[in-house]
Chain A
């Protein structure tokens, strides 16, 4: 089981991702924009963040800029979940440390669960908190 923060402004999708990931056995917290996500990160240390790019109040890119300095735990993987295919925003997200980018409208639930699993395996199955502790 991993700890996952879902940041998605569309309420229907946010709810759907929550159901899919909980069904796959993960602990899920949700936020509806970047600002809310930063607030959630004060009390919740995720292993993975599922991040939309285009959101009101604070978009995904601004969230990555603000979160990266100085609070970011590098072991927390960020999966960009967007419909902005081949866009400069996706390239920028990679520069800001995103691990992988997934096109929402092409991704079925079982694929979402699988991408999350594969991404978590990149930490050799360890939680982000464990990786961070070891790094210290």
Chain B
């Protein structure tokens, strides 16, 4: 009998029944779900959404979604309508996933993971649907993870600092003169502690980016000066491989903008030291700062081994290293570019590249003149 019922549904299923089934499906979604018409007015709300936001269905239906349910940043600043996931999904016709904060009816701010999709009928957008869930607990776990890594890194660094300091003291002759071979050995110890330090810094920064707890302190920064500083600091590394390293500015707009100097320096250092590392002896690495009206673009160009075509899509993935590089340089972790991309996104910037195998690579990154808040960054107040 049951089988007969099931078979009899299908084509004979009435419009009324189909609507009831769609309603039941919508209602039974475990996460909050809200749909809107093309004007952003709420057309449906499921019980999970009502519970998450503290409103009854009657209070929400027919209201303008972006106004009724406030979305705010980490710093409690309201998010513009145009930047809300549901608006972006409706306007672009593509699904959008983001983390944001929603304001509960009682005023509380709740961290949410939001997935918004357009509702399309024969390619025409009729409205949008947003599914969201409370991620407060996940954020707390991330925060604890971040705190743990921070503390662990500190504890790892303390003995490392002692090793490095004493090795340097021996090298500098604080405990008497040394033979050349002894100095060479100490150089190896110092080099290894530097690599370990770099690794700890990278892991620490990645943890901060992934948990959204990286601190961004915007201050006026002159990128041309920073470029000179980075070149100066890496000149020893470049001269060790007889690489011609230089920095220049091209463009008439000011090379200064308000951003986080430490993060930008980390990005520049990472890209330039990568370029030196992956360029054969006697090659060329140049750093060019191109100030434009809306942003400043920085180019790091090398005459190195390049990135093979097959690897170009994966170059920003965690732990990825192209085979032509692994053969030549064994010390990399595959974390550098993943970190650089995350750091730039925290500053509202972006990164891209062009590369020809055996000819060289140019990485470009752009930093906006106007500061944009991102979900991966906690923006510190300006001093």
Query: Which residues of A come within 8 Å of B, CB atoms?
Result: 10, 12-13, 16-17, 19-20, 23, 54, 83-88, 91, 104-106, 108-110
The interface residues of chain B lying within 8 Å CB-to-CB of A20 are 165, 169, 174
Summarize A's interface: helix, strand, loop or mixed. Answer: helix
With beta carbons under 8 angstroms apart, the residue of A86, A105, A110 that contacts B157 is A105
What is the distance, in angstroms, from B51's C-beta to the closest C-beta of chain A?
Answer: 34
Distance between Cα atoms of A58 and B29 in the complex (Å)? 52
With beta carbons under 8 angstroms apart, the residue of A12, A91, A104, A110 that contacts B380 is A91
With beta carbons under 8 angstroms apart, the residue of B174, B215, B217 that contacts A109 is B174
Q: Judging by beta carbons under 8 Å apart, are B380 and A83 in contact? A: no
Q: Judging by beta carbons under 8 Å apart, are A10 and B158 in contact? A: yes
Distance between Cα atoms of A13 and B154 in the complex (Å)? 14
With A19-B169, A20-B169, A91-B217 given, is the CB distance from A108 to B164 under 8 Å?
A: yes
The residue in chain A whose Cβ has the minimal distance to the Cβ of B196 is: A105
The total number of A-B Cβ pairs within 8 Å is 64
With beta carbons under 8 angstroms apart, the residue of A23, A87, A104 that contacts B174 is A23
Q: Judging by beta carbons under 8 Å apart, are A16 and B162 in contact? A: yes
With A86-B215, A88-B215, A91-B217 given, is the CB distance from A109 to B204 under 8 Å?
A: no
With A20-B174, A85-B204, A86-B215 given, is the CB distance from A105 to B168 under 8 Å?
A: no
List 14 additional A-B contacts (Cβ < 8 Å) besides A10-B162, A91-B217, A105-B164. Answer: A10-B158, A13-B158, A13-B162, A16-B165, A19-B169, A87-B150, A91-B380, A105-B161, A105-B193, A105-B197, A106-B197, A108-B172, A109-B165, A110-B168
Q: Residue B253 at the A interface, CB < 8 A?
A: no
Q: Judging by beta carbons under 8 Å apart, are A83 and B168 in contact? A: no
Q: Residue B153 at the A interface, CB < 8 A?
A: yes
Summarize B's interface: helix, strand, loop or mixed. Answer: helix
The interface residues of chain B lying within 8 Å CB-to-CB of A87 are 150, 215
Q: Judging by beta carbons under 8 Å apart, are B262 and A54 in contact? A: no
Q: Residue B160 at the A interface, CB < 8 A?
A: yes
The interface residues of chain B lying within 8 Å CB-to-CB of A12 are 162, 165-166
What is the distance, in angstroms, from B353's C-beta to the closest C-beta of chain A?
Answer: 26
Q: Residue B201 at the A interface, CB < 8 A?
A: yes
The interface residues of chain B lying within 8 Å CB-to-CB of A88 are 215
With A105-B164, A109-B174 given, is the CB distance from A83 to B157 under 8 Å?
A: yes
15 A-B pairs in the complex with CB atoms less than 8 angstroms apart: A12-B162, A13-B161, A19-B174, A83-B158, A86-B214, A86-B262, A91-B380, A104-B165, A105-B160, A106-B197, A108-B164, A108-B165, A109-B168, A109-B172, A110-B168
Q: Which of A10, A87, A105 has the most CB of B within 10 A?
A: A105
The interface residues of chain B lying within 8 Å CB-to-CB of A108 are 164-165, 168, 172
Q: Judging by beta carbons under 8 Å apart, are A104 and B157 in contact? A: yes
With beta carbons under 8 angstroms apart, the residue of B150, B153, B161 that contacts A104 is B161
The residue in chain A whose Cβ has the minimal distance to the Cβ of B381 is: A91
The residue in chain A whose Cβ has the minimal distance to the Cβ of B166 is: A16
Q: For chain B, which range describes its interface: under 10, 10 to 19, 20 to 34, or 35 or more residues? A: 20 to 34
Q: Judging by beta carbons under 8 Å apart, are B153 and A83 in contact? A: yes
* B 172-227 contacts with A by CB, 8 A: 172, 174, 193, 197, 200-201, 204, 208, 214-215, 217
The interface residues of chain B lying within 8 Å CB-to-CB of A83 are 153-154, 157-158, 161
The interface residues of chain A lying within 8 Å CB-to-CB of B169 are 16, 19-20, 109
Nearest 7 CB-CB pairs, A to B? A83-B157, A12-B162, A104-B161, A105-B161, A108-B168, A16-B165, A105-B157
* B 61-89 contacts with A by CB, 8 A: none
Q: Which of B165, B201, B262 has the most CB of A within 10 A?
A: B165
The residue in chain B whose Cβ has the minimal distance to the Cβ of A9 is: B158
With beta carbons under 8 angstroms apart, the residue of B150, B172, B262 that contacts A84 is B150
Distance between Cα atoms of A85 and B193 in the complex (Å)? 17
Distance between Cα atoms of A8 and B153 in the complex (Å)? 17
With beta carbons under 8 angstroms apart, the residue of B165, B172, B193, B214 that contacts A13 is B165
The interface residues of chain A lying within 8 Å CB-to-CB of B166 are 12, 16
Distance between Cα atoms of A83 and B172 in the complex (Å)? 23
The interface residues of chain B lying within 8 Å CB-to-CB of A91 are 215, 217, 380
The residue in chain B whose Cβ has the minimal distance to the Cβ of A111 is: B168
The interface residues of chain B lying within 8 Å CB-to-CB of A85 are 201, 204
What is the distance, in angstroms, from B144's C-beta to the closest C-beta of chain A?
Answer: 16
Distance between Cα atoms of A13 and B153 in the complex (Å)? 17
The interface residues of chain A lying within 8 Å CB-to-CB of B162 are 10, 12-13, 16
The interface residues of chain A lying within 8 Å CB-to-CB of B153 are 83
Distance between Cα atoms of A91 and B219 in the complex (Å)? 14
Distance between Cα atoms of A31 and B164 in the complex (Å)? 22
